[in-house]
Every structure is written in structure tokens, then in C-alpha cells.
Structure 1
Amino acid sequence: MSEKVYNVLYLCTGNSARSIMAEKLLAFWGKGRFCTYSAGSFPTGQVNPLALQVLTAKQLSTDGLRSKSWDEFSGTDAPLMDFFFTVCDNAKDAVCPVWPGHPVTGHWGVDDPAAVDGSDEDKLWAFKMVANQLENPIKAFTSLRLESLDHLKLQQEIDAIAKV
């Protein structure tokens, strides 16, 4: 019997950096257990080139990445999400669409690397640091035995990961 593949949506405001990187990092670390997506409450319309550079340096595919609205995932024809995670405080506090299926939710907030001022090296370093910060909860999430946990226990585990 094949293992269930879980749908996961990462949310941030602009869907240009943090949620994009989280989407690709989970796709890598999840080793096929997850169908990953990302979206924003107010998408910028383009993926930040430094996010693409960091993903490419990690040898992760950037094919098909685009900045998109979370509205794409709230309609009846959208994939049914098992999990969604906010990765910025603005998205955490935003009035979100109603997500069908009652997904397990979490907040793994990290600073916006696109907000860093300074040299090109400073900016690239900020993106690398955020990618590394996102990897910690993502790796912890992929280590969970999701199929053996009920909804309440899953929520407790997700909440515990956020505190690490």
C-alpha cells in the first residue's frame, strides 16, 4: 500500500521569498511525502531573484515558481490542504480565506530577507539565513509520523515545532 501524500501550503504576504523557499525546501526534505505549494495574501507578482539564487545554490529546482494569491487555493477546484503554515507575522494575523477540509495550521515566522538594507552580500546572506531558519521546522515536520497521529495530536506537534 502506498503512503499518503499530504498537501501543504505555505503563506506569507508577498509570496516572493519566505513561502517560496519553504515550498521548495519541504519538497526536498519531504522526499515525495508532500505536495507543496505557496501563496501570499498580497502577492508581489514576482519571485525575488535572491530567493531563486539561494534555492539554486542548494540545488533545488526553481521551475514553475511564481508569486500567486492565496485565493487560488480557497476555491472548489483547488487541492484540499492537509496543512498550512504562515511564515510571516503579517500573514499570521491576516484574515485568511476559509480553508476547506480543516487543515492543521502552524506559524513558523521568520524575518523578511527582502527587507534587509545593505550591500548585495548582506542581502544574499539574509536570504541564506532565512532558508536555514526554515529548514529547522521543516526537518522536524518531516520526521513526524503523520499517519499515526490524530488531528489534535498533529496540531500539538506542529505547535511544539514552532516553539523550537
Structure 2
Amino acid sequence: MRVLFMCTANSCRSILSEAMFNHIAPESFVAVSAGSFPKGQVSPRSLTTLTRAGISIEGLSSKGNDAFESNPPDIVITVCDKAAGEACPVYFGPALKAHWGLKDPSEVPGDEATVDAAFDATLAQIEKRCRAFLELPIATLARDELKRELDRIGKL
């Protein structure tokens, strides 16, 4: 199963989600990420947060939706508030879509410790949701049941 985590800039929340999902998921799952308006670079604080958590940052990059045109995902999960109202591109066709809104930790004001805490809290929230997703009996769920479960997880 191929899961696309999508955000506007693809520099923070979608990158954290891709890395966390791949860190804990079995080999039959793979996560990728993209942005509707990619920044072109991953937030350095995202990379630092992942490294501090012992999660690989190898291969992470900020890219647009077109990177997946020839190999569309099975599931598209938007992870930022701005992307929630955007329509998923047509080429995603039958991909199941869900929204797991997360506040942008890079917009948290404060000193280094405060911003680090915001990134750590965001990563912990992503881990909680990814683990809940991976615990689902996906093989036995009908498409509408899976959609309902993904939407429920987005509210955790």
C-alpha cells in the first residue's frame, strides 16, 4: 500500500509524516510526501527533530504532486489546514482521501526550546495517528469503512 502525505509546502508536517510512517510501518507499506506548492527544501528543524527521534532522514526532499503522476498512491492524507480545502489532483483518481490536520510547528513563536517542543509534539501526534492507521484491519475493511476509520484517526 502506498500512502501520500500531502501539505502545502512539503517542508514540515508532510515530511515528518512520511518519515514517521516509514519508520514504523511494515515493508508492505510505503509512505511518500508532496506539496501543492512545494518549498523545494525540507525545513532544517524537521530534519533535526527526526534525527533526534532516531528516524532516518535519508531521501527526504520537498517535491510537488507531479512527482507521483506515473505511480499514484492508494491513499492521500492531507496534514495541514491549508491543504484541507484543496482538491486532490485528478490523476490521483480512485485514491482514498482523508485529512489529518496539524498545526504548523514552524509557526510557533518563542525561543528554541519552545519551537523544539512544538516540533516534538507534532511528531508525537503523527506517530499516534500512524500507529492507529497501521493497527487497522485494512484487508477486511470495505473502502467506505476505511475512509471512516481514516477520518476518525484524523481527529485523534
- CA distance in 2 between counterparts of 1:29 and 1:7 reads 14
Match of 1:132 in 2: 124
Q: How many residues of Structure 1 are paired with residues of Structure 2 in the alignment?
A: 156
- CA distance in 2 between counterparts of 1:10 and 1:63 reads 17
Match of 1:105 in 2: 97
- Where 1:163 maps in the other structure, the secondary structure is coil
- Where 1:137 maps in the other structure, the secondary structure is helix
Structure 2: tracts of 5 or more residues without a match: none
Output the amino acid matched with 1:160: R
Match of 2:2 in 1: 7
- CA distance in 1 between counterparts of 2:91 and 2:148 reads 19
Query: Would you say 1:51 and 2:46 are equivalent positions?
Result: yes
- CA distance in 2 between counterparts of 1:152 and 1:88 reads 23
Match of 1:32 in 2: 27
Query: Would you say 1:162 and 2:154 are equivalent positions?
Result: yes
Against the structure 1 CA distance between its residues 36 and 57, is the aligned structure 2 distance closer, same or farther, given a 3 Å change threshold? same
The Cα of 1:95 is off from its aligned counterpart by: 3.0
The Cα of 1:101 is off from its aligned counterpart by: 4.5
Moved segments of 4+, more than 4 Å = none
Task: Give the alignment's TM-score, normalised by structure 1.
Answer: 0.89
Match of 1:66 in 2: 61
* Identity fraction in percent: 39
- CA distance in 1 between counterparts of 2:144 and 2:118 reads 35
The Cα of 1:104 is off from its aligned counterpart by: 1.4
Structure 1: tracts of 5 or more residues without a match: 1-5
- Where 1:38 maps in the other structure, the secondary structure is strand
- Where 2:102 maps in the other structure, the secondary structure is coil
Contact 1:44 1:67 in 2 (8 A): yes
Match of 1:3 in 2: none
Match of 2:135 in 1: 143
Output the amino acid matched with 2:49: V
- CA distance in 2 between counterparts of 1:19 and 1:162 reads 14
Contact 1:82 1:101 in 2 (8 A): no
Against the structure 1 CA distance between its residues 70 and 100, is the aligned structure 2 distance closer, same or farther, given a 3 Å change threshold? closer
Against the structure 1 CA distance between its residues 125 and 47, is the aligned structure 2 distance closer, same or farther, given a 3 Å change threshold? same
Task: Give the alignment's TM-score, normalised by structure 2.
Answer: 0.94
